[in-house]
Amino acid sequence: MNAKEISPKVNARLNRIKIVSRIARLLVIGFLLFTIWFLLRVWIFQGTPVLFDKFNAASAKAAHQYPLFLCAGILSLFTPLILCVWYWKLAQLFHYYERGLIFTVKTIRCIKFLGLLCVINWTLVSTRHLLLQETGPGLFQPSPSQPIYRMEFFSFDFGWGIDFGPLLAGAIIVVIAWIMDEGRKIQEEQELTV
Amino acid sequence: MNANDNPSKANSRLSRIKKLSRFLKAVFLIYFVVLGLVLVAGHVKTPIQVGDQNFSSPREIPAELKIYEALRCSLYLLAAIAFYRLLNLYENGIIFGAGNVSQIRQLGILAIFYGVITACRPIFAEHVIMFPKLPMDMLFSPWLIAGCLTIIIAWVMDEGQKIQVEQELTV
């Protein structure tokens, strides 16, 4: 086996990676544009976000609970924003793959960031849920008929109305990215070893 | 950086990976034991809750719903096995191997199946097919999207790993 025989093989593989990554990147950008369009449609053409509506805020038990309601509203604005950033980073990851960067620092950092975004999103959603619980029973409260506990794959609730599944998923992505980063560093160090 | 430093650095990194993988394996074992116990407890006490519906005895649960739950449980189990194997590989110091990629791909395939089965729940539970809703639920299922993305990432990693092997073979 010589270099002349292997080179076209590698090129063919790289070409395949480029084509598939480009398709995946375009699909992810499509999802991103669809999400932005959907949000704009809801917020601009159908009125302000529900939580900023004073009529809904009036369902809070007392007037002093309005700041809590407003905080929850602000937090609910961040979650779609995080989804957009998530799609953007995913598109970036496929862009790196398209350029032939597969096990590099950039790609691994990108995967780690995607996991971190899952964790941040979970924190925001949980905080919002807790803030809304403080405002008493209202539009966003879970119905009393809901089970006390719920345990499914990557989705479990201990009865607080908070789904811990996304937190677990995000943490696993971060850990796997960390392991890959360590593996990459080991490879680099071994290459440097004389 | 000299040759004497590097092996110890690599060893410390490997031992960190091993420790973390072992810890995650233990956490996952506990999680799946608890999950199993919760599932069993949910079917022992009455009323038995399957999705949104309550049943007073196991005999009341329709056969279709039993099949649906069995499929879901087997998917959990297969995913747990795949993830456990992946952690085992990491623990053994295999990080960019073909085995890792195959386990990640398997997790992606299982996520797709899970998304499809979850979207098909109305067929099992209510014997109805709502035409625009069913394909839309399938298409926009986060499990389906996550599964497809995982498969693509696994495939890219597999190709990358093959390129590395081929380049190592180049004289």
Q: What is the pLDDT of residues B68-81, one digit of tens each?
A: 888 888 888 888 88
Which chain A residue is nearest to residue B166, measuring alpha carbons? A6
Q: pLDDT at residue A54 above 60?
A: no
SS3 A1: coil
**What distance in Å separates the CA atoms of residue B62 and residue B169, rounded to the nearest whole number?**
58
Q: How far B41 CA sits from the closest chain A CA (Å)?
A: 12
B100, B170, B171: which to substitute to probe chain A, counting the most A Cβ within 10 Å?
A: B170
Q: A181 and B13 in contact (C-beta within 8 Å)?
A: no
Cβ pair B152:A31 closer than 8 A? no
B47 preceded by a cis bond (ω within 30 of 0): yes
- Residues from chain A contacting residue B6 (CB–CB below 8 Å): 189-190, 192-193
Count of structural domains, chain B: 1
Judged by DSSP in three states, A157 sits in strand
**Does B170 contact A at CB distance below 8 Å?**
yes
Cα B105–chain centre separation: 10
Question: Tell me, what's the pLDDT at B2?
Answer: 42
Q: What is the mean pLDDT of residues A162-178?
A: 85
Contacting residues for A109 by C-beta, under 8 A, at least 6 apart: A177, A181
Is residue A3's pLDDT more than 60?
no
Q: How many Cβ atoms are within 10 Å of A120's Cβ, its own excluded?
A: 16
Interfacial B residues in 58-97 facing A (CB < 8 Å): 72, 75-76, 79, 90, 95-96
- Cα nearest neighbour of B69 on chain A: A152
pLDDT of residue B46: 61
Query: Above 80 in pLDDT, residue A106?
Result: yes
* Of B49 and A73, the one with more pLDDT: A73
pLDDT at A152 over 70: no
- Is a pLDDT exceeding 50 seen at residue A2? no
- B1 neighbourhood in chain A, CB within 8 Å: 189, 192
pLDDT at A153 over 50: yes
Residue A43 has pLDDT above 60, yes or no: yes
Name which of A29, A90, A153 to mutate to probe chain B: the one with the most chain B Cβ atoms within 10 A of its Cβ: A153
Residues 6+ apart with CB under 8 A from A110: A89, A92, A93, A96
Number of domains composing chain A: 1
In whole angstroms, what separates CA A130 from the centre of its chain? 20
Q: Which domain holds residue B36?
A: 5-169
pLDDT: which is higher, A158 or B114: B114
> Does the CB of A24 have a partner CB in chain B at under 8 Å?
yes
The contacts of residue B65 (CB under 8 Å, 6+ apart) are: B50, B51, B53, B124, B125
Establish if B49 touches chain A: CB-CB under 8 angstroms.
yes
Q: Read off the pLDDT of each residue in B49-69 and give the average, rounded to a whole number.
A: 74
The yes-or-no verdict on residue B109 having pLDDT over 70 is yes
Nearest to B72 by CA among B125, B104, B110: B110
Q: At what angle do helices B142-169 and B98-119 cross, to 10 degrees?
A: 160
Residue numbers in A near B76 (CB within 8 A): 153
Rounded average pLDDT over B138-153: 84
Contact in structure between A97 and B159 (CB atoms under 8 Å): no
Matching residue, tokens 């369009």 = A37
Domain that holds residue A157: 3-192
Which of A6-10, A84-88, A116-120, B40-44 shows the lowest mean pLDDT across its residues? B40-44
- Share of residues in chain A with pLDDT > 70 (%): 71
Q: Is B3 on the interface with A (CB under 8 A)?
A: yes
Please report the pLDDT score of residue A85 as a whole number: 93
| Confidence label for A112 from pLDDT (cuts 50, 70 and 90) | very high
HSE-up (13 A, CA, CB side) for residue B89: 20
Find the residue in A nearest to B90 (Cα).
Answer: A179
Placement of tokens 């908070």 in the chain: A162
Could you tell me the pLDDT band of residue B170, with boundaries at 50, 70 and 90?
Answer: low
Q: What percent of chain A has pLDDT over 90?
A: 23
Instruction: Kindly tell me if the per-residue pLDDT of A73 is higher than 60.
Output: yes
CA distance, residue A133 to nearest chain B CA (Å): 23
- Contact assignment for A10 to B95 by CB distance below 8 Å: no
